[in-house]
Amino acid sequence: MEYAIETENLTKIYRDRAGEVVALDSANLRVPKGVLFGLFGPNGSGKTTLISILVGLQLPTRGTARVLGFDCVKQSLEIRKRVGLLPENYGFYEHMTAYENLEFLGRLDGIPRGELRRRIDEVLELVGLKEWANAKVKTFSRGMNQRLALAQALLKDPEVLILDEPTLGLDPQGSAMFRELMARLVKEGRTILISTHLLHEVGFICSHAAFIRKGRIVAQGNLEELAKQYREARGYSYEVVVQERPEDLLRELRQLEGVVEVGLENNTIRVRASRDIMRELLGVTGRYQVRSLRERAPTWDELYQFYHGGGWGE
């Protein structure tokens, strides 16, 4: 598989008078090309440090990192030519207008003057700020600032987008716009790395993810691969939707080998098992009037709780 971002034993240690803080601890991250990848972890888990190293804002203490094949230490300028970054805790020049800010940043990106005006109009349109192009940034709300931050990341039409907490401050309309935009950009073949702890905002649009805890990547892969790990540790979940109260079916399900728990909520039976019992379920439910049977995949929230709440790798 071809990776857009690849790190190997990436380590970052901050040293000050108080001692050492290990922000990244031998992190091995693999982000395939052309996917929307979530980097999930709580505050202080090392997400921002990892991103800063990827775009050359910080140097690693040990290990290597490559973006689009370029080394983050030796070729960071090549990376910054191709990567659009929305950093955490960014700021704009407040006495300048949105347009002037983008013009300054776009020129630093090396976008030719003639093309820059068109690009600025395009990205302002994309994030819904076209009407505010000539308004000073100091008049902007938090959400508008976040939209402008997204616009500046898109300005150079990057191959890779790295977004650190991109939905912070966005209203529901803004979040919806953001998700639509991300889906469209991935369809165009771009790689997007979104770092966040707000899974409910962006988790469900990611096809791949990595979970970072105390500076270590504790798990990564696509949803199916991560769900498999989850099932192996937490068991399998199934949902059976029935037409009438199925006392006999409930009894039969409880007797199946490996079933840990059977619960009923309205017309839905939830079955939790320590092993894959889909074949047995098909056999049993075939004798009853059942509307549907499906294996329930874990949600990103459940996976987050699993990887960060102590169910994994402790």
Does residue 183 touch other proteins according to CB under 8 A?
no
**Minimal distance, residue 25 CB to other proteins, in Å:** 18
**Minimal distance, residue 35 CB to other proteins, in Å:** 22
Residues 25, 28, 31, CA angle at the centre, nearest 5°? Answer: 140
Stretch that binds other proteins, among 26-34, 99-107, 119-127, 254-262 (CB under 8 A): 99-107
**Two structure tokens written together for 77:** 């300028």
- Of 116 and 253, CB closest to other proteins: 116
Stretch that binds other proteins, among 88-96, 114-122, 213-221, 263-271 (CB under 8 A): 88-96
Q: Output b/e per residue, 155-168; b: 16+ Cβ within 10 A.
A: bbebbbbbbbbbbb
Rounded to whole angstroms, the Cα distance separating 209 from 37 reads 5
Residues paired with residue 292 on neighbouring β-strands, in sequence order: 241
| Intra-chain end-to-end CA distance of the chain, in Å | 30
**Minimal distance, residue 56 CB to other proteins, in Å:** 8
Does residue 15 touch other proteins according to CB under 8 A?
no
Does residue 97 touch other proteins according to CB under 8 A?
no
- The DSSP letter of residue 139 is G
Please name which of 237, 220, 223 lies closest in space to residue 295, comparing C-alpha atoms.
237
**Minimal distance, residue 229 CB to other proteins, in Å:** 34
Residues paired with residue 290 on neighbouring β-strands, in sequence order: 242
- Of 105 and 185, CB closest to other proteins: 105
Does residue 105 touch other proteins according to CB under 8 A?
yes
Does residue 107 touch other proteins according to CB under 8 A?
yes
- Of 84 and 246, CB closest to other proteins: 84
Does residue 92 touch other proteins according to CB under 8 A?
yes
Does residue 116 touch other proteins according to CB under 8 A?
no
Does residue 221 touch other proteins according to CB under 8 A?
no
Site string for other proteins, 134-153 (x = CB under 8 A): ---------------x--x-
Rounded to whole angstroms, the Cα distance separating 190 from 161 reads 8
- Of 192 and 227, CB closest to other proteins: 192
Does residue 160 touch other proteins according to CB under 8 A?
no
Q: Which of residues 29-68 bind other proteins (CB under 8 A)?
A: 52, 55, 57-59
The distance of Cα 146 from the centroid of its chain, to the nearest Å, equals: 17
- Within 8 A by CB and 6+ apart from 300, the residues are 38, 40, 199, 203, 204, 206, 209, 223
> Of how many residues is the chain composed?
314
Rounded to the nearest 5°, which phi and psi values hold at 114?
A: -60, -40
